[in-house]
Structure 1
Amino acid sequence: MKQTSLSLLLVMLLSVAYPQTEKKLVINDTLRAIASLLHKDNFKNGLENWKVEQMPGGIVTNTKGKLEITDVAGCTIWLQKQLEGPIMIQYDAYVIDEGGPQDRVSDLNCFWMAKDPENPNDLFGNSEKRGGKFSNYDSLRLYYMGVGGHDNTKTRFRRYLGNGDRPLLPKHDLSESKFLIKPNKVTKIKIIAYDGIIQYYRDGQCIIDFYDPSPYTSGYFGFRTVNNHMTIDNFKVFRLE
């Protein structure tokens, strides 16, 4: 009895000591995984983990412990850490619509598993050349999710081929209101890249469930937007096993 009580106490102490470092994950009807925390950033210590590529006129700051993006003509904010193998990415986004000059409800976007075929070992070799202009990213090899583009009328998923081609499948061209941005509220984003399974969730709803027979299994993650004002918080990356 005493040994059972000690074991139970140990489990409780471990649960408190290591919160949210590992959890069970349901990917689909037949696939389950264990998610182990690899990286997290609550932005309370600045932007040292991030590389900003932004067109003139915008600014990216650490405001009250959150990543705040005020953009005019386009920007990408890269996590300066290459991600490998089956992963899950999570973060909270908040698109601001309070009458400010850049408070345009549009473009809650992101890239993941990004690589530059011209510089396969250094994504940032062409960082200044890209400079935040959207068309300058067409040559990268990556997955792209654009939520609420075109003034919050379109949500689209694309697989960039790395040669300028970025095909759009009809089933990944969404315009129903349930797929668009709801401003002034916390939106919880979850991205899964598990071998060929590519999924994008928003507030628990799976918007994209794509099977890639030739998956991109390593690369960089970046927040992407244009002419927008939003904040990001509680960023986490998990390894999936």
Structure 2
Amino acid sequence: MLPVLAQEATGGMQVQHLLTFKKKTLLFQDDFSKGLDTTAWRSEIDTQGTSSVYVRQGQLVLDIKGGVTTWLNKPLQGNILIEYNRTVLLDGGMHDRVSDLNQFWMATDPRNANLFTRTGVFESYDSLQLYYAGVGGNTNTTTRFRKYHGDGQKPLVQEYLDKAHLLQPNKTYHIQTIVYNGITQFIVDGIPYFTYKDAAPLTSGYFGFRSTGSRQVINEVKVYRIE
């Protein structure tokens, strides 16, 4: 049995307890060894200067002055596990800044069947329905979880301000995200940062890497169906 930390919930964040799921089945993987598959990934980049998304040495690189969302061009549904490795670089690059290891998941647009219509500017996503986690936001001062309701509302569900939940430069983090029977969880290096039982869970939608004003590398992306 594979462990999943989850939450006994009445209205959100409560005491965590250990759940299990029986198995996982691989739905998608990309190690970027063959470059950037533009049929699998779609990037929305804020049009500021030298920003770009590319693959180098088997890693997806988000090298961004403004904002970016790189979407997996595959809708996800039901109980899933998403995992990948991600590093925020600080070694003299033009856009290097320790900030904003972020992601969207289970994203849909209530007004448009085509999700991919935005510019990369963060506020342009306010009208979507989705879950959002942002580690080391606001120049590495906040780590936050939000649910976007699709009407401009995106209430803050939980926030950390302590150093233990912020970013370290050039450290590779293993990120896991679980959607499981109405519960969603965001895990960093085996530690559950956010666990949320949703009274109106988002059960399908798109996953995207999100960042702004930084250079980050990502690899070993895998998506599983879990039971």
1:41 pairs with 5, 8, 30, which one?
30
1: distance between equivalents of 2:166 and 2:81?
Answer: 22
- How far did residue 64 of structure 1 move? 0.8
Give the residue type in structure 2 aligned to 1:186: T
Q: Which has the larger radius of gyration?
A: 1
2: distance between equivalents of 1:25 and 1:54?
Answer: 37
- How far did residue 31 of structure 1 move? 2.7
The percent of aligned pairs where both chains have the same amino acid is 45
Give the residue type in structure 2 aligned to 1:26: P
2: distance between equivalents of 1:232 and 1:139?
Answer: 27
Give the residue type in structure 2 aligned to 1:55: D
Of Structure 1 and Structure 2, which has the larger fraction of its residues in strand? 2
**TM-score w.r.t. length of structure 1:** 0.85
Q: Which residue of 2 aligns with 1:237?
A: 223
Give the residue type in structure 2 aligned to 1:168: L
1: distance between equivalents of 2:202 and 2:133?
Answer: 15
Give the residue type in structure 2 aligned to 1:108: L
Q: Which residue of 1 aligns with 2:149?
A: 161
1: distance between equivalents of 2:226 and 2:33?
Answer: 26
- The 4+ residue runs of structure 1 with deviation greater than 4 A are none
Structure 2 unaligned runs (5+)? Answer: 6-16
Does residue 122 in structure 1 map to residue 114 in structure 2?
yes
- How far did residue 30 of structure 1 move? 5.4
Does residue 80 in structure 1 map to residue 76 in structure 2?
no
2:84 pairs with 82, 91, 97, which one?
91
Give the residue type in structure 1 aligned to 2:226: L
Q: Which residue of 1 aligns with 2:41?
A: 50
Q: Which residue of 1 aligns with 2:199?
A: 213
Aligned residues: 211
Does residue 104 in structure 1 map to residue 97 in structure 2?
yes
2: distance between equivalents of 1:116 and 1:30?
Answer: 33
Structure 1 unaligned runs (5+)? Answer: 1-23
Does residue 62 in structure 1 map to residue 48 in structure 2?
no
- SS at 2:99 equivalent: coil
Q: Which residue of 2 aligns with 1:26?
A: 3
Q: Which residue of 2 aligns with 1:195?
A: 181
1: distance between equivalents of 2:54 and 2:18?
Answer: 42
2:134 pairs with 128, 146, 157, which one?
146
2: distance between equivalents of 1:232 and 1:83?
Answer: 20
Supply the RMSD in Å over aligned alpha carbons. 1.1
1: distance between equivalents of 2:36 and 2:93?
Answer: 24
Closer, same or farther: CA 46–163 of 1 in aligned 2, 3 Å: same
